[in-house]
C-alpha cells in the first residue's frame, strides 16, 4: 500500500472508493471529478461541521479483499472519518463488515438490495424501481414481453435477474434464459457466443446486466452480428460514457433506465451539469481546458452520495447514529429530483431513455419519489 500524505488538520476525511482499473475503471475519472465538485460545494457552504472536506483516494478496482484491507488500515490509523464512492457490490460486500459500526458509509451505486451492516446507507437505485418498473413500461410502450439475460457473473447481476424473473412471472411474462460471463471478460469468442445465445432464445430483447467495458464489448459484438435489427436491448447500467466507448453504430435500439441522464430538464439538473463542466478543472487545479464529457449516472451518483454524507449530521460531523436515523426515514435533493428513504428502502425518480448515437433521449419517468419505494 502506498504511503499517504498526512491529512490536513481539522479536515473531514472521506475514504473515496472509486475504480481505477478493471471493467468499471472507465467511470473512475468522471466520478472523481464529480466528487471534487461535491467537496468544493460543501466547503463553500461551510464544510462538514465547519471542517473542509478531504478526499482520500482508494482504488476500488482492485480485488475486494485488498480494498477492504486498505480501508481497514485507514480506519485503524484514524485517517478517515467516513467512507463513500461508486464501486461494485463485490467491493461493498467486502468493505461493509470492516466499516460497520465505526464510521458512516454511503454507498453510491445502484445495487441488488439487502445491505444490513450498521452505519451503511445505500443511496442508489434498487431493482424494483429501476429494472422491473422499466420492463413494465417497455412491455406497454414497445410490446417487449420476453427477455434473455446477459450478465456479469457476480452478485448484482445474479440477484437482479432473480428479482426480475419473479416479477415477470407474476405479470404473465418471463425470461427466456440467461448467460453469465466472467467479470472483465476480454475473450471476443465468449461475447460472440453470448450474442448467439440471445439470437437462439426467441426473446424480444436482451436484459444487459453488464458493467463498463463488458457492456461495451457486448454492444459491439451484438451490432457486428446484425442482431440490433431484430432485438431490443435494455440496461440499467448504461451511461453516456459507455455509449461513447461502444460507438454510435453499436447502440441502435438500446434502452436504459436510471435516476439521472444528462438530458433531464430542471434547474437542479442544469446546475449540476454546469458544475460538472468545471469539475475536471477543479481536480487538475488549472483553468478551463476545453469541452468535458456529459456527466453520466455514475458521476451523478458519486456527487449525490457525498452531498448526502456531508448533510447527515445536520451541521455536525456525521456519526453512525445519523445513518441509523436516515435509514428509518429521510429525504434529500439530488440533481435528478427528490430521493426518499423509508425503512431502509430508497426511492428515486427513475426514467427510461433510448440511445441516440452517443447520447440518450429521455422517454418517460417510470417510478418516482412520490411512490412507495420498490425494492
Torsion angle, alpha carbons of 273, 277, 282, 283, to 10? 100
Do domains 12-125+265-343 and 127-258+351-367 share one topology? The answer is yes
Is residue 236 within 8 Å of 157, Cβ to Cβ?
Answer: no
Computed over every residue of the chain, the mean pLDDT equals: 92
Give 54's strand partners: 13
What is the share, in percent, of the chain residues with pLDDT greater than 70? 93
Domain ranges in the chain are 12-125+265-343, 127-258+351-367
Q: Give yes or no for residue 128 having a pLDDT over 60.
A: yes
Q: Give yes or no for residue 165 having a pLDDT over 90.
A: yes
What is the pLDDT averaged over residues 175-186? 96
168 band by pLDDT with thresholds 50, 70 and 90 = confident
Q: Give yes or no for residue 189 having a pLDDT over 50.
A: yes
- Locus of grid cell 447502440: 251
Each residue of 311-336: pLDDT tens digit?
Answer: 999 989 999 999 999 999 999 999 99
Q: How far is CA 129 from CA 10, 132, 223, 259, 350, in A?
A: 40, 6, 29, 10, 7
pLDDT at 1: 42
Assessment of whether the complete model's pTM goes beyond 0.85: yes
Number of Cα atoms under 13 Å in the Cβ half of residue 342: 11
CATH class of domain segment(s) 12-125+265-343: alpha beta
- Report the alpha-carbon distance of residue 115 to residue 324 in Å, rounded: 13
Q: What are phi and psi of 293, to 5 degrees?
A: -70, 160
pLDDT at 374: 58
What is the share, in percent, of the chain residues with pLDDT greater than 90? 84
Q: Give yes or no for residue 302 having a pLDDT over 70.
A: yes
> What do you get for the CA distance between the two ends of the chain, in Å?
37
174 band by pLDDT with thresholds 50, 70 and 90 = confident
Q: How far is CA 219 from CA 139, 213, 225, in A?
A: 22, 10, 10
Q: What is the CATH number of domain 127-258+351-367?
A: 3.40.50.2300
DSSP 164-229: HHHHHHHTT-EEEEEEEE-TT---HHHHHHHHHHHHHHT-SEEEEE--HHHHHHHHHHHHHTTGGG
Considering Cα of 318, then 320, then 321, then 323, what sign does the dihedral take?
A: positive
pLDDT at 7: 47
Greater pLDDT, 289 or 351: 351
Largest CA distance in the chain: 62
Amino acid at each position: 500500500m502506498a504511503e499517504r500524505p498526512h491529512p490536513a488538520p481539522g479536515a473531514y476525511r472521506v475514504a473515496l472508493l472509486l475504480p481505477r482499473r478493471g471493467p468499471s475503471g472507465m467511470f473512475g475519472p468522471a466520478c472523481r471529478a464529480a466528487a471534487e465538485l461535491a467537496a468544493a460545494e460543501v466547503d463553500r457552504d461551510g464544510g462538514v461541521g465547519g471542517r473542509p472536506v478531504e478526499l482520500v483516494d482508494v482504488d476500488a478496482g482492485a480485488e475486494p479483499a485488498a480494498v477492504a484491507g486498505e480501508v481497514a488500515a485507514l480506519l485503524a490509523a484514524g485517517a478517515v472519518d467516513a467512507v463513500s464512492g461508486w464501486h461494485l457490490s463485490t467491493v461493498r460486500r467486502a468493505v461493509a463488515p470492516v466499516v460497520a459500526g465505526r464510521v458512516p458509509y454511503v454507498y453510491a451505486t445502484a445495487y441488488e438490495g439487502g445491505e444490513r451492516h450498521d452505519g451503511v446507507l445505500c443511496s442508489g437505485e434498487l431493482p424494483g424501481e429501476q429494472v422491473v418498473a422499466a420492463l413494465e413500461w417497455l412491455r406497454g410502450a414497445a410490446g417487449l414481453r420476453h427477455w434473455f439475460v446477459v450478465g456479469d457473473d457476480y452478485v448484482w447481476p445474479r440477484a437482479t435477474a432473480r428479482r426480475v424473473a419473479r416479477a415477470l412471472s407474476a405479470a404473465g411474462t418471463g425470461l427466456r434464459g440467461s448467460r453469465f460471463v466472467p467479470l472483465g471478460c476480454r475473450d471476443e469468442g465468449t461475447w460472440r457466443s453470448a450474442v448467439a445465445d440471445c439470437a437462439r432464445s426467441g426473446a424480444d430483447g436482451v436484459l444487459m446486466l453488464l458493467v463498463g467495458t463488458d457492456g461495451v464489448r457486448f454492444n459491439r459484438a451484438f451490432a457486428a452480428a446484425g442482431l440490433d435489427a431484430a432485438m431490443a436491448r435494455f440496461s440499467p447500467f448504461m451511461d453516456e460514457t459507455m455509449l461513447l466507448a461502444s460507438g454510435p453504430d453499436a447502440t441502435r435500439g438500446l434502452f436504459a433506465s436510471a435516476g439521472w441522464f444528462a438530458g433531464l430538464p430542471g434547474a437542479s439538473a442544469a446546475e449540476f451539469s454546469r458544475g460538472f463542466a468545471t469539475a475536471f478543472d477543479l481536480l487538475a487545479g488549472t483553468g478551463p481546458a476545453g469541452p468535458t464529457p456529459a456527466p453520466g449516472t455514475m458521476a451523478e451518483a458519486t456527487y449525490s452520495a457525498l452531498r448526502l454524507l456531508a448533510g447527515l449530521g445536520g451541521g455536525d460531523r456525521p456519526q453512525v447514529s445519523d445513518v441509523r436515523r436516515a435509514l428509518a426515514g429521510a429525504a434529500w435533493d439530488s440533481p435528478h429530483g427528490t430521493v426518499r428513504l423509508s425503512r431502509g428502502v430508497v426511492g428515486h425518480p427513475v426514467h427510461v431513455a433510448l440511445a441516440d448515437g452517443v447520447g440518450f433521449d429521455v422517454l418517460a419517468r417510470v417510478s418516482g419519489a412520490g411512490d412507495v419505494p420498490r425494492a
